[in-house]
Structure 1
């Protein structure tokens, strides 16, 4: 029994946590529970808090090491003070783990008010109290697991240092330096090479398999106006998962006519998948050939949709413009990746921009080269999230956009968007970054809620360019600059849905908003990265639809809801 006790004491002496580390970990846990842009499910918040605790613990250990090796040796204290400090430290070492558990539970209980307020602001249901109280246990479990893994790495590092000293007979500090260099090289290689390559290779394998999956309701269209249908130059099976969903979706001419109470046209949907042709330009050429085949020049408008990641086109957006136009529209898109939008944002932004540029330029060239005797449809560009960045890539700036197309609707633009960023930076003085005004709104407009444009007769020179962005959308506001620079949107009064208690903390705010990225659709429609219910108003504004008021919106919102009943958003 004594032997077991001795083993346990030895283990505890070796593995006991740092008091300073636990204190900073507790502070990090508290920060992770503070108000951010969006509410979080209990399991996601538990993960965020657990990771935050590990980071805080690491910072605390680093501070303690700095104190002991640099500051403490330069301070002389009375032996009685040193003895008292040792007794207090011994007590703290024994009690700190238990205090941390109690503290984390208490902190979570007191943070419930914040989380409920964030849920209320974005019109999301409040989670039950019992769900909140699962957070500390998830956080503690993850923290302990990560801490054990980190300790294991430290043990491996020390073993490496001892082996180097024995093998080469070098000094301790030289061996430690060698260990740091090797560890840094391995870490850098993993971060920049092995891990990303394995991650993206695995992602490609997983999502390329998903790209070939069959959808229960996705069948080759019977209408020749859709790619993959009769007479199409594109094979239905080559369109990919999202392409097949797109061309097999939407209501047909007969249903449109019944809904609108007037004769409608069969909407054109042209699409090319990754397997339809090997390059962006060839896929764009296929889409243009589909426009010719379906006589798209006879339509009132053509909507160009640079897609996100897997080739996704929001079915709400396509259905909305088809309703508003009575089917007198052609919507076109191409696929450039197997990867979903968030992975494409990390790895394929250049690929997204190249594909968007190719698609827009090809369709614009098609429109401009139509013979004089043929009508020229109006051209519109639509995009969401990464699709806005793909669309922007085709233009040099706002002047180029206005000279090329007849309207633009971009929703949830990432902060890295070049044109968006330039316009926001040059906004009219005194206007907020969450809803900026540029050139008095004459050339381009930004809106948190395009419903505000109903009945608005203020001057807006066509073509209309509209960005819709939410104050609570982390995709719009995330940037590496958050590490050390307070953003304008946190220096201003809070925009719609943002908690007034959210404030800027160097480094910590960056991690808060980064965590929100993984939860961007965690609120309700009209908040975060969810824009479906604002698409009708957005299209009405971008196309300059006349007599668009509350009654017209309500009418089309009801029709849109009926049209979307059996459609999958994707």
Structure 2
């Protein structure tokens, strides 16, 4: 029933089946351990068939009621977000998928238990560590590196001198990485887009210095507006935000970004969130210092989404410093509603259906602070543990939501940027 508690986003039947199976297997494991620890009580329960039947009937009734409520809640969310409603096929797939996956997981767990009893727990633990370490040290970084350096045949090296990666650029096209190449393509030819990838320079300070020289070369400091964009953990800058800046400023603006990781935001959040703050500080400070030497400097803005918002908020020690150093800032989808005290000219975009905004370990015991969040869809009431479980599951599909819902923000990321 915990797996069917109300969530924040529409969920595919397969994802719901996986969640249900994992929780059922976890519950069976807890029940097995409890029974072994309290065998006399379990034996007394086994001798009371009437009580067993009563418990079974209550469990079946609870599951049926949970399914009915879950179906109603899913359709409420889907209606609000313009997504097709669920039907009998959805719940039939969920039931069958949950059953099959639970059987597979229980069989695998039983087999693993028998193997451990045969070879011993200490030897089994050593074998598990030996098998896992190569994946942790080589597999995950290798996948991230391959993803970051992968080519996209739909991307064409820019010819405009206002873009990084062009023939006149200080950065090679290949050094930008996949997300950097996406960043510098499309958009008005007059707008300046500068991106320093991980391969463009060896460390954040060097990449920031290179980005400033590239901005100077491309004419970025000649524009009236200059946006420092802090990417997500993978190096991605939302194209909808870039279109918003273009709607707001036309071609009279420049935008610069510095890559600090190739891992997904969640992985960077766990193992290296400080890298976002270090990179954001390096670029903004370098841009600010160069702009201060100019007779007519551009207005400086700061933008970040997700982990980029968290890292960008660390650029300033507090609201007073932000007000002094930046024209304005905009954060979208800030993880856990975190970040430092915002300045006067700050816009924070947060959807109430965004699990990234909701999630934090504290969600286990207290509701999230959604002050200022935009109510884009119905929000379930907070429940201890259940809300944490559901929000954690929703994180996996946060970018699959329709535009304007979940962790997908629209062009208002640019158009809602405050003025000076």
Give me the TM-score of the superposition, normalised by structure 2.
0.88
Residues 186 and 478 (structure 1 numbering): CA distance in 2 closer, same or farther, change over 3 Å? farther
Aligned to 2:196: 272
In structure 2, the partner of 1:138 is 97
- The structural deviation recorded for 1:302 is 0.6
How far apart are residue 494 of structure 1 and its match? 11
Point out the structure with max Rg over C-alpha.
Answer: 1
Q: 2:358 aligns with which of 455, 477, 489?
A: 477
For residues 127 and 201 of structure 1, do their structure 2 counterparts lie closer, same or farther at Cα, with a shift above 3 Å needed?
Answer: farther
Contact 2:230 2:258 in 1 (8 A): yes
The CA distance in 2 between the partners of 1:53 and 1:488, in whole Å, is: 27
**Partner Cα separation in structure 2 for residue 123 and residue 301 of structure 1:** 36
> Which of 383, 394, 407 lines up with 1:504 in the alignment?
383
1:86 corresponds in structure 2 to 47
Q: CA deviation at 1:244?
A: 1.1
Which residue number corresponds to residue 141 of structure 2?
Answer: 204
Who is 2:4 aligned against? Answer: 33
Alignment match of 2:394 (pick from 513, 516, 521): 516
Measure the CA separation in 2 of the matches of 1:200 and 1:89. Answer: 54
Q: Which residue is equivalent to 2:302? A: 381
CA distance in 2, matches of 1:376, 1:490: 37
- Give a deviation string over 1:463-486, Cα, whole Å, max 9, x none: x11111111111011111122x22
Instruction: Provide closer, same or farther for how the CA distance between residues 237 and 398 of structure 1 changes in structure 2, counting only shifts above 3 A.
Output: same
Distance 1:196 1:52, change over 3 A: farther
Alpha carbons 2:248, 2:415 under 8 Å: kept:
no
**Residue 290 in structure 1 maps to residue 290 in structure 2:** no
Check conservation: 2:5, 2:66, Cα contact below 8 A. no
Within 2, Cα distance between the matches of 1:216 and 1:160?
Answer: 51
Cα deviation for residue 107 of structure 1 reads 5.0
Q: Which of 339, 344, 355 is the equivalent residue of 1:418?
A: 339
State how 1:358-369 maps to structure 2 within 5 Å: 358-369=282-293
Taking the aligned partners of 2:137 and 2:315, their CA distance within structure 1 comes to 27
1:285-343 Cα offsets, whole Å, 9 max, x none, are 11000121123222101100111122111122112212321201110012122222232
Q: What whole-Å deviation, never above 9, does each CA across 1:120-148 have from its counterpart, x for those lacking one?
A: 23343323431232011111222122222
CA contact (8 A) 1:54 1:146 kept: yes
User: Would you say 1:333 and 2:257 are equivalent positions?
Assistant: yes
Match of residue 54, structure 1, among 19, 22, 25: 25
Q: Any idea what SS the aligned residue of 2:227 has?
A: strand
Change in CA separation of 1:396 and 1:298 when aligned onto 2, cut-off 3 Å: same
Q: How does 1:511-550 map to 2 (within 5 A)?
A: 511-539=389-417, 542-543=418-419
- Kindly provide the CA deviation profile for residues 182-231 of structure 1, in whole angstroms up to 9, marking residues without a partner as x: 489769x85xx974762463232123223233223322211111112242
Shift of 1:490: 8.8
Contact 2:350 2:373 in 1 (8 A): no
Map 1:154-165 to 2 at 5 A. Answer: 154-160=113-119
Partner of 2:349: 468
CA distance 1:494–1:150, shift in 2 (3 Å): farther
Q: How far off its partner does 1:408 sit?
A: 0.3
Q: Distance in 1 between matches of 2:255 and 2:245?
A: 9
Deviation of residue 378 (structure 1)? Answer: 0.2
Q: Give the alignment of 1:47-126 within 5 angstroms.
A: 47-68=18-39, 85-86=46-47, 88=49, 108=67, 111-126=70-85
Q: 1:515 to 1:246 in 2, by over 3 A?
A: same
Match of 1:4 in 2: none
* Distance in 2 separating the partners of 1:285 and 1:491: 38
Which consecutive unaligned segments of at least 5 residues does structure 1 have? Answer: 1-29, 74-81, 162-178, 253-265, 424-442, 445-463, 545-570
Q: How many residue pairs align between the two structures?
A: 419
Bigger mean CA offset, 274-283 vs 242-251: 242-251
Q: Aligned partners of 2:366, 2:35: CA distance in 1, in Å? A: 28
- Report the alpha carbon displacement of residue 31 of structure 1 after superposing the two structures with TM: 1.8
Distance 1:243-1:57 versus aligned 2 partners, 3 A rule? same
Structure 2: distance between partners of 1:402 and 1:491 = 22
Give the alignment partner of residue 487 of structure 1, picking from 364, 367, 371.
367
Q: Over residues 253-277 of structure 1, what are the superposed CA-to-partner deviations in whole Å (9 max), with x where a residue is unaligned?
A: xxxxxxxxxxxxx111111111111
In 1, Cα distance between the equivalents of 2:374 and 2:244? 31
Distance 1:526 1:346 in 2: 26
In structure 2, C-alpha distance between the alignment counterparts of 1:160 and 1:89, rounded to whole Å: 41
Which residue number corresponds to residue 399 of structure 1?
320
Which residue of 1 is the match for residue 225 of structure 2? 301
The Cα RMSD (Å) is 3.3
1:280: Cα distance to partner? Answer: 1.0
Higher relative contact order (CA 8 A, sep 6+): 2
User: Counterparts of 2:69 and 2:223 in 1: how far apart (Å)?
Assistant: 59
Matched with 1:347 is 271
Alignment TM-score, normalising by the size of structure 1 = 0.66
Structure 2: state its 5+ residue gaps. none
Question: How many Å separate the matches in 2 of 1:183 and 1:119?
Answer: 50
